[in-house]
Amino acid sequence: SCRLPLRRSSATCKSWQSGHLLPWDGCQMLNIKGTNMTVGQEQQASMKEKQDVEMHLAMSETDALFQEQPETGNQYLEDTLLRSYLKTHLPPKVLEEVHEDLERFGKRLQTEIQPLSWECERNPPVLQQFDAWGRRVDHIHTCSAWRRMKEISAEEGLIAEAYEKRYSNWSRLYQAVKLYLFSSSSGGFSCPLAMTDGAAKVIEALGTPGSLKNAFDRLTSRDPKKFWTSGQWMTERRGGSDVANGTETVARKQLDGTYCLYGLKWFTSAADSDMTLTLARVADAEGQCTQGSRGLSLFFLRVRDEEGKLNSIQVQRLKDKLGTRQMATAELWLQGARAELISAEGRGVAAISNMLNITRIHNVIGAVASMRRMISLSRDYARKRVAFGKLLKDHPLHMQTIARMEVQVRGAFLLLMEIVRLLGLAETNLASEQEQLLLRLLIPVAKLYTGKQASAVAVEAMESFGGQGYMEDTGLPVILRDALVLSIWEGTTNILALDVLRSLAKSQGRGMAAFLSTLQKKLELAAGTEELSPAVQRTREATGSLRQFMAATGSESLELAARDFSYSLARIYTG
């Protein structure tokens, strides 16, 4: 049928249904079997039918797909750099087991998890504040796909793998690899996993006290029925990273030794989580609180009780975000929420630092995974899309653009692997002092730099699809929107650049010495390969310039240059 706007009489409608006619704009039927017409009328009708057929054929052609959809297969098998890295570094026995599991996981991502990801995007969480009878319920409705992601996370051991330590110091790296593969297909569920991992790390660092053993076991469980996710409630009404001056939540001690928390948590991601770690100020007998970071303590609380009722928490609203819409982020009023003090009083910031390090590493994982996803799709599209008489892959300029993005993601991937390798050593007490100092420095460096890389690569890769890259139903804009948050969450670029300076100052120069010493060893190793000589020379020159800058720059000027300085550390070490 012709898709023209029509005004039809009842007689016309009957003719339309019988298939004899394509009427237009109030005109009556032109050709009905059994109806006598003049020669002129027959000629006019014949011409009209010919036009209708031609229009129908033309519109049928425009309905056809002119461009092939880019697709990816088994993400593990297609990632040659990942497989090469694992083959180079893992012990043979570990590699054998890991390879088999990752190949299976890659197939599951392709066939089961990726479709769930799209369902999470199309069905974001909804807040129901009241029931039919006017009672306040504050229920956050999530889609079945989101709930299934939680089950899959447990089944795959995406948190458990790091804490079971089946592969000793390689367990953390193996977990990071699975999270890297999972991230771009997770439908946003990688975010609650980051905070869950961070919470488990904090509890482990505290020695897993008896009152928290159940929580730790659930956070690291492989049983979907037992598995918990955790939130990280730090941001309040004043917002930002300045938690020392921005935290207003008050904790009042009860006769049973627990605390009741009162305050507004202004930005709480994964608000549907089972538990959370949060900061608050303990009030003394007179109701007074110590200000600044010395007044902050760390608390554990269950979000709901066994019956699903909120723990004296009121959900004010869900945030309307640019991206990560799949996940519920909320403003929460704590109105006497029962909590347990788990840090020494006034040592909350120090206690939660383990969580921040883990979530920042997860941020790096998300950034690298996002870049890899976009480039993989762009590469596949270049093998299918024909423009100006040949495939995109046969246009040198197009391939140069993809190659430059590929260099970015490969460097970021290797930086990520270096960090999780060092973390694995530290968690099994195998890291030297130099390796521990290097890890402390590289975490903020990698987080700030890969966050910026991910946004830039997403924009560049989107452009490689032309106008299709801008179409919402291709799924490409989702990747861009979700990537933009990576330079904001867990500390903005400037905040992290200042953290880099703090790390160097706190180590009294030992952190920078560890950085430069490690560089020197890597360059000496690379110098033995003739093909790498030009790159080795450039890296040595860059390192020399870095040394000169540090020697000639005072502390005030260094703060002004903190961002560029941190970028230089990232680029040199990645190189």
> DSSP labels for 324-373?
-TTS--EEEEEEEEEEEE-S-TT-HHHHHHHHHHHHHHHHHHHHHHHHHH
The candidate with the shortest Cα–Cα distance to 464, out of 479, 449, 450, 448, is 479
In the numeric block, the tokens 């560890």 are attached to 514
Predicted confidence (pLDDT) at residue 514 exceeds the cutoff of 90: yes
Neighbours of 204 (CB within 10 A): 17
Predicted confidence (pLDDT) at residue 442 exceeds the cutoff of 60: yes
Q: What is the mean pLDDT of residues 257-276?
A: 96
Q: What is the mean pLDDT of residues 257-285?
A: 96
Q: What is the mean pLDDT of residues 371-381?
A: 97
Q: What is the mean pLDDT of residues 304-333?
A: 95
| The predicted structure's pLDDT at residue 9 | 42
Give CA–CA dist 548/543, Å, rounded: 9
**Window from 3-12, 251-260, 559-568 with minimum mean pLDDT:** 3-12
Q: What is the DSSP letter of 266?
A: E
Spatial neighbors of 429 by CB under 8 A, at least 6 apart, are none
**Residue 4 main-chain phi, psi, to 5 deg:** -105, 145
Q: pLDDT band for position 58 (50/70/90)?
A: low
Of the options 2.40.10.10, 1.20.1740.10, 2.40.30.10, 1.20.140.10, the CATH number for the domain spanning 350-574: 1.20.140.10
Give CA–CA dist 263/258, Å, rounded: 17
The candidate with the shortest Cα–Cα distance to 297, out of 340, 256, 333, 349, is 349
Q: What is the mean pLDDT of residues 243-263?
A: 94
Q: pLDDT band for position 262 (50/70/90)?
A: very high
In the numeric block, the tokens 């009556």 are attached to 28
Q: pLDDT band for position 263 (50/70/90)?
A: very high
Average pLDDT score over the chain: 90
Residue of 327 and 39 predicted with greater confidence: 327
| The predicted structure's pLDDT at residue 314 | 97
- Cβ 372 vs Cβ 184: under 8 Å: yes
The candidate with the shortest Cα–Cα distance to 19, out of 42, 38, 2, is 2
Q: pLDDT band for position 56 (50/70/90)?
A: low
In the numeric block, the tokens 């771009």 are attached to 184
Q: pLDDT band for position 334 (50/70/90)?
A: very high
Q: Give per-residue pLDDT as tens, 448-481.
A: 999 999 999 999 999 999 999 999 999 999 999 9
Neighbours of 448 (CB within 10 A): 31
Q: What is the mean pLDDT of residues 324-331?
A: 96
And the tokens for 189? 């569920």
In the numeric block, the tokens 């992601």 are attached to 149
State whether the Cα torsion 125-236-339-298 is positive or negative: positive
Share of the chain above pLDDT 90, in %: 83
**Residue 227 main-chain phi, psi, to 5 deg:** -65, 135
Predicted confidence (pLDDT) at residue 148 exceeds the cutoff of 60: yes
| The predicted structure's pLDDT at residue 7 | 40
**Secondary structure of residue 375 in the 3-state scheme:** helix
Upper half-sphere CA count for residue 293 (Cβ side, 13 Å): 10
Q: Give per-residue pLDDT as tens, 279-297.
A: 999 999 999 999 999 999 9
Residue of 523 and 245 predicted with greater confidence: 523
Q: Give per-residue pLDDT as tens, 195-229.
A: 999 999 999 999 999 999 999 999 999 999 999 99
> DSSP labels for 281-324?
EE--TTS----SGGGEEEEEEESB-TTS-BSSEEEEEE---SS-
Give CA–CA dist 326/332, Å, rounded: 18
Share of the chain above pLDDT 70, in %: 89
| The predicted structure's pLDDT at residue 6 | 38
Q: What is the mean pLDDT of residues 326-338?
A: 97
> DSSP labels for 35-73?
----HHHHHHHHHHHHHHHHHHHHHHHHHS--SPPP---
| The predicted structure's pLDDT at residue 2 | 41
Q: What is the mean pLDDT of residues 546-565?
A: 89
Give CA–CA dist 74/303, Å, rounded: 37
And the tokens for 562? 């903190």
Predicted confidence (pLDDT) at residue 174 exceeds the cutoff of 90: yes
Q: Give per-residue pLDDT as tens, 2-37.
A: 443 434 444 444 433 433 433 333 343 444 444 455
Q: pLDDT band for position 64 (50/70/90)?
A: low
- Cβ 277 vs Cβ 300: under 8 Å: yes
Q: What is the mean pLDDT of residues 39-48?
A: 65
Q: pLDDT band for position 67 (50/70/90)?
A: confident
Q: Give per-residue pLDDT as tens, 117-134.
A: 999 999 999 999 999 999
Nearest-10 crossing angle of helices 493-506, 562-574: 80
Q: Which residues of 400-412 are buried (b: 16+ CB within 10 A; e: fewer)?
A: ebbeebbebbbbb
Strand partners, 281: 250, 296
Residue of 30 and 388 predicted with greater confidence: 388
Q: What is the mean pLDDT of residues 85-97?
A: 97
Q: What is the mean pLDDT of residues 306-312?
A: 92
Q: What is the mean pLDDT of residues 394-413?
A: 98
Q: What is the DSSP letter of 109?
A: I
| The predicted structure's pLDDT at residue 63 | 57
